[in-house]
Chains A and B, each alone.
Chain A
Amino acid sequence: MMAKRVGMEVSVAIGEAAKMANVDVVAAYPITPQTHIVEHLAELVADGELDAEYIPVESEHSAMSACLGSSAAGARTFTATAGQGLELMHEVLYVASSMRLPIVMTVANRALSAPLSVWGDHSDAMAVRDTGWIQLFTENGQEVVDNVLCAFRIAEDQRVLLPVMVHLDGFHLSHMIEPILLPEVEAVKRFIPPLKYPFPLDPLKPVSMGDFGPPFIYSEAKWAQEVKLREAKDVVVECWQEFGKQFQRHYSPVEEYRSEGADVLLLTMGSYSETAAAAIDKVRAEGKNIGLVRLRLWRPFPFAELRQKVSQARVLIVLDRALSIGGPVGPVCSEIRSALYGQAKQPKVVSIVGGLGGRDISVAGFEAIISRGIKVAEKGSRNEFEIFGVRE
């Protein structure tokens, strides 16, 4: 059997990917715009198409807590959430990563209240930035499916054993019906070897997890986590290379679009990158030397790759889809500035925030962001950052 191309809602395709990965446990609570993912998984389990335990919990806090237990028992564990749901999980996210449990979660990115918004932006993702999870951003349905499969392989790699979040934009991706190549189940089976958690909960070989860490050992425990998360980058890259070999679709930590030797670069994350690419084509056609850089690997942050891809440009315009209210600039921009700080050659970095709470940015919008960004780089602005299109 060959991989087959299907027209499918991206959320449903994620459920199919989790099924192909043969998950053992799904513990989840529905929340817009993620609901269709776990709804589909509940259906697959109820129909006997997926031999897994589906735990319908009473909140996201419980969802992640149940995931801790099942992952600690050595079961392949999957969940999904969005926005406020991710926030309700917050404290448990730290436990998952520090206990080194290889849980995989998709997050259909959603703005945070208030005002109440079910629509997409990256506020939820930015709020969980420091939870110690590996975090990947995706641009279209195919990328989500591919990266969910990769996420299991990365998380469960014995050199890693860390949870992985796959981010996809709420509605803009979660609710789209897209042509998706679903790989052949046998190929997926080969790609994701069976999970061998080194210390599964077992009454015959008891261990204690999540113990008390007094001051004399807490720093060492956190440093262990830091080292492992940083080292995970090589495994992520290796996994993507292997995926490329087996499935002919290629991913890397920082991806480019017509950015070679560009004077001005635009940097984006997530599905808006595709619209941005269309804008780059237009401005390129007008003879402007402008390219696009997309950050795919958010944690661990790909310092070397980013520096290598942006240092030679004169201007770097970073689009954030979240705010760091009262802070320096948009959160992604802030990290990029700090990654470039002290480098011998570095672009002028301009922070633009846009696409908040589901507001679209059209191709023309991206063209406007590019010209505004260049102007700010050259002439300055009275603000540290600007919200594109905000009515002041």
Chain B
Amino acid sequence: MNSKRDHGGLDRRGFLGVGAGTAATLPLLSSLAGAATPPPAPPPDPRAATNVTLRINGQDHRLAIDPRTSLLDALRDHAGLTGAKKGCDHGQCGACTVLVDGTRVLSCLTFAVMAQGREITTIEGLAGPGGALHPMQQAFIDHDAFQCGYCTPGQIMSAVACVQEGHAQSDADIREYMSGNLCRCAAYPNIVAAVRQAKSEMEGA
């Protein structure tokens, strides 16, 4: 299902990519003038789509995107991975948290072109083979660590990294290092309990 969605995005945007490709042949015209130093090529159109390959959840996605596209929009609108959420789009809520090379970052403040060559992990890539839930996902269910669920993918990605960083040593530690993820439903006590449970499972495993 995923790959089908990717193709949809690629075809629609790929059309723009072709346009950019033909623009690149323009300098040929200058050779007609026969001058030793051809006039400088016109500056490339900054709006032209550029081809990027993003490695998301172990799979390469070839996308033709405007350089202005955030990693969050590339994931959601181009790669069809709508798990990461857009809460604020300004770095203030954490709903868009994903892992880049194993480190938690905000995909809304990352330009997708800058994530090339990096290993991106989203909530869709967390479950094990056969769909077995990650201990953090299971812990959020066990502890009812959400209400509306909008912040949850970001909370879970952030929490996985929080444990891996060694920043879940106490409840106070968890609260401090999870403070970049806001929950409008205020499920905070249950989130702390979920992280505590998953930590012992992740470290026991």
Tell me whether A and B are bound partners. no
